[in-house]
A and B are shown apart, each in its own frame.
Chain A
Amino acid sequence: MLKSAALGSVTLLSTLSFDEALWGRQLSEQKSRKPTAWDEIGPFYKRDAPQSAQLSRPGDPGLPVRVSGKVFDTRGNVLSGTKIEVWQANHQGLYDLDGYSYRGTLIADGEGAYDFRSVMPGHYPGRICQHIHYLVSAPGHKLLTTQLYFATDPVFEGDPEHNYTRDPLIQSSDLVRPVTLAGDPNEIHALVNFEIVVEQL
């Protein structure tokens, strides 16, 4: 029954209870998803980052950014409780090795959702593109190291689909995400959505 519902079988629905039909519809809405592209972990990972969705401190220079998304498996199921470690350079492109500035650990909620607030990372001099590192750990799934890039990065000249290879570490243009500016002119902030898909073990 589950398989039939997942395949969207109309004929079976009339024989199902309301709850079963609803479940079946939810399943039919799920899409199989491509795993998020891998990217290297980089040399500045630091373990034991505090569990916090606020990576920047009030008044920190730089364009505020809120990154949000959901974590899925490749069958489209949301993965609540997924541990997501994020770290980045500050707006000047510098990593904090002595403390935990711009480093945090997030736990995806019951809907698989996560979000954090920070500032747009600067260009680290040893790299070409602005980026935020991710280490994603979901029980029963492969660990994922990847990096989030921004379509507004001048390196891409407005065409990340074609120009993402300018940074040889970017494995897929899917990692380059659109940036939406929001807020009033005095308090502009950036919004970025980055969905994560991990593979089952």
Chain B
Amino acid sequence: MRPGSFAMVLFAGFATAAMAQAPQGSPEIIKLQAPVTSVALSATSNRAAVVSRDKKLTLWDLADSRLLRTIALVTADIDVTAISDDGRWIFTGDHSGNGCIWEASTGQAQFQLRLPHYPSAVSFSRDSKLIAIAPMGDPVQVFEVATSRMLYQTKAVTGGTEAIAFSRDGTSIATADADTTVRIYDARTGKLVAENRDFLLEPLALDFSADSRQVIAGGGDKVLIFISATSGKVIRRLEKTDEPVSFSSLRVSPDGSLIAAILMKAENMSQPAPVVMWEVSSGQKKSQWMPTTLALCMDWTRDGRLISAGSDSDSLHIWRVP
């Protein structure tokens, strides 16, 4: 179970602003009619896809907090929601293993699929043409969104996949796998290119560097590792944190200079944990703040601002980092 699957969260502020660049003031509030169960952000298209307890998928324009569309769902028990960078496609996957890709502009289902288990991780490619879906404990399935054709599925790995990322250039997919391995595949064929087994605990979050040549991954080992996307070898490690946290989500900024991470408290993954930003060149923390409750997701805008989302019982909270 990942923190994103928790139903009720509150992201009403931050207790400490230890360094520069932490969000200031209050979050933008989008009022909802029911508690949020799942959220996805596309900072590029300035969209938020929100699933709420009243079995509604709503699409919001973050520029003016405007409701763009409401889609009726058959269940509110959605484990994973994802939205493509261009804002055109939205994925919802429920706990019974039913997945659906929605076309945002029409609210129609582009295609539906039956997964062997509920989804644990989903990612669209950067050009929004492909989607990679990891059912819990099972191989990753990659589809062409426009045709709904499954291109391939990766080989089975013990325990399945916890996180997926496409490279910026579209050539590679990286998976953070439960058998403590980071794997890099050819995005067109699904052929395994490289793997890294430096983690003892499961890696839970990863992203590619801006030049697509490295994978940055983190998890319960409490350290960020830079891995060659071609050899799988460790290129660099950032300083290990002593805090009892794990990495829950990672996003590299568009210019590659910053890494943002949502952390997860090991003793209680539903409690708020710090959101941290590192400078890639120095490996130093650039900012860290502690939301009063859990951050659910985040994304970078094209001009390098971080947007993070959380919610309380009746509203979506959007934080913007300058």
Contacts and interface: CB of A to CB of B under 8 A. Distances in A.
B294 to A, nearest CB: 11
A40 B244 CA distance: 23
Interface stretch (A42-50, A60-68, A153-161): A42-50
B136 to A, nearest CB: 5
A54 to B, nearest CB: 21
Contact of B270 (A45, A93, A125): A125
A44 to B, nearest CB: 6
Contacts of B267: 93-94, 125
Contacts of B160: 40-41
Which of A38, A44, A93 has the most B CB atoms < 10 Å from its CB? A44
B320 interface: no
Nearest to A49: B200
Given A45-B180, A47-B200, A143-B158, A97 B266 contact: yes
A97 B220 contact: yes
Nearest to A41: B159
B299 interface: no
A179 interface: no
Contacts of A95: 266
B137 A126 contact: no
Contacts of A94: 266-267
B19 interface: no
A46 B1 contact: no
A40 B136 CA distance: 7
A140 to B, nearest CB: 15
A152 interface: no
B271 interface: yes
B162 A43 contact: yes
Chain B interface, DSSP helix/strand/loop, else mixed: loop
Nearest to B178: A41
A191 interface: no
B204 interface: yes
B251 interface: no
Nearest to A142: B156
A97 B244 contact: yes
B158 A145 contact: yes
A135 interface: yes
Nearest to A125: B268
A166 interface: no
B162 A38 contact: no
A38 B244 CA distance: 29
> Interface centre among A43, A95, A124, A169, by most B CB within 10 Å?
A43
B268 A45 contact: no
A34 interface: no
A43 B221 CA distance: 11
Contact of A126 (B1, B179, B202, B204): B1
A97 B268 contact: no
B183 interface: no
Nearest to A168: B95
Contacts of B317: none
A169 B200 CA distance: 24
Interface string A125-159: 11100000001000000010100000000000000
A33 B286 CA distance: 56
B202 A145 contact: no
A12 B3 CA distance: 61
Interface string A19-56: 00000000000000000001011111111100000000
Contacts of B6: 126
Contact of B271 (A93, A125, A143): A125
A19 to B, nearest CB: 40
B269 A40 contact: no
Interface string A69-94: 00000000000000000000000011
16 contacts: A40-B160, A41-B202, A43-B2, A43-B202, A43-B246, A43-B264, A44-B202, A45-B178, A46-B202, A47-B180, A48-B200, A95-B266, A97-B201, A125-B267, A125-B269, A168-B95
Interface of B: 1-3, 6, 77, 95, 117, 120, 136-137, 158-160, 162, 178-180, 200-202, 204, 219-222, 244, 246, 264, 266-271
Given A40-B159, A46-B200, 7 more contacts: A40-B136, A43-B219, A43-B269, A47-B179, A97-B266, A126-B270, A135-B159
